[in-house]
Structure 1
């Protein structure tokens, strides 16, 4: 294959991710020409409404997938946590890159960490998952919706619209923005469980053997196993961006540990479980954990969460 076209959104973080993948492929295929097709997704255009009300995570992948299906791009680079569990016919996830730091990060110009926030402090987040866990820790805080790209969110924080905001640590690190905020405190994943796919890139391709052979060189087996477990969990619960779901699979040398949490956005009711198995028997852990939580009432809890969230809440981003 002489030429490969990568479809990507045009945001600063999306371009970092696409450039990273381009660089990795150029190391492996130095004679191949690699170009970008930059798409402005609907989710990047509509910034005044909650994503849950205008289409959810698919808003960040739909136009890119249309370009690929039309034959105008071979491969797309996504933040894996933004990729729906079901993909259009003719496309598939061919690789999951090595997972980076999975934590969220607390950002503030006035306060060192969550514990230092005064009662009633205003915290910005786009995520029902973060909101649920934050309210469970600090029910006295005021949670305020937060939209826009990373720089827009940081500007709103600097302008004093929020006392603190919470973003994904990896995005801030990749863009070199951590030092731009006086207080940046990574939140332990024991305190705030990440979402499915956080800190991995998903490489989506047209279902073509030649493209697959190229893309699969980017795959990290342990990260791919973790991603499968997490995505299976979300799929079994029929989770969407209108419900708070946290799930993380950690792959060790010999074992895999999966932790998950679902609940109400206000943090008043939470169901949390974990499961562990030898690595060679871990492939179905996501479905097994989901079935266990369904038996404990997870779907009913999420149905109540959706009825609470649909009126005003939002999808996971950054």
Structure 2
């Protein structure tokens, strides 16, 4: 792919069917031959993709990322926060920002679950657009507190339970405590603030405007989520789906990655990135692997027959 000078990040808004205003960030040439659409994880923002956005847009790729609802600069909307809702949001973002042309869709963690939800709930979308899909550090089954059987994993599980249960069952008290935290603390609650400028807010600001009750809603949904046995449309894409994880991921353990691969037998599962943890797009050793895979997928998307990628989304 011939490199092109990257354009500056452009900020825009996509309004969903329930009125939520999702903040979208676009990099790269507006008329690029392929668009990479990036969906981030729980308690993060679109900034988690900054390295990929910078590298891919410099190569002439159009890159679209967005803050999930109730994260970063995006509104929570008027309906309950669930993974199903995030999947519907992702469909809206694709429809609004990339109604035609080749698409590479990459989802990290909860963002990958949103992509899987699109495939499970709106399989016609997958059949029409035939995207190349990167599922990064994600799962088709519910979030787990215990990542494995090692004693250290049980210690981590106890720590996670120690803050997740109060958040879920005592959100008003949690809000009071969050308002007392220093402004730079990732859990600080500052409802009146908003990140300025066109670039996404840092991930530490992901939930600074999000009341604890909304975080609890989403966490409870993650704990019951599943798309198992519902991914036939995605599996039909054959080798256009790739599964990537980090060797040291202790949020989505390797057992869940293998289960995802069993649900998608036609997908290509990469060897775990050695020495990399859960936040693979910004991981010290993992980010380059993610960028390389996405770059190769954009090349493959450009080579796909035009008839398979130009149909409108809905």
Q: Shorter-normalised TM-score: what interval?
A: 0.3 to 0.5
Higher percent of residues as strand: 1
With normalisation by structure 1, the TM-score equals: 0.32
With normalisation by structure 2, the TM-score equals: 0.33
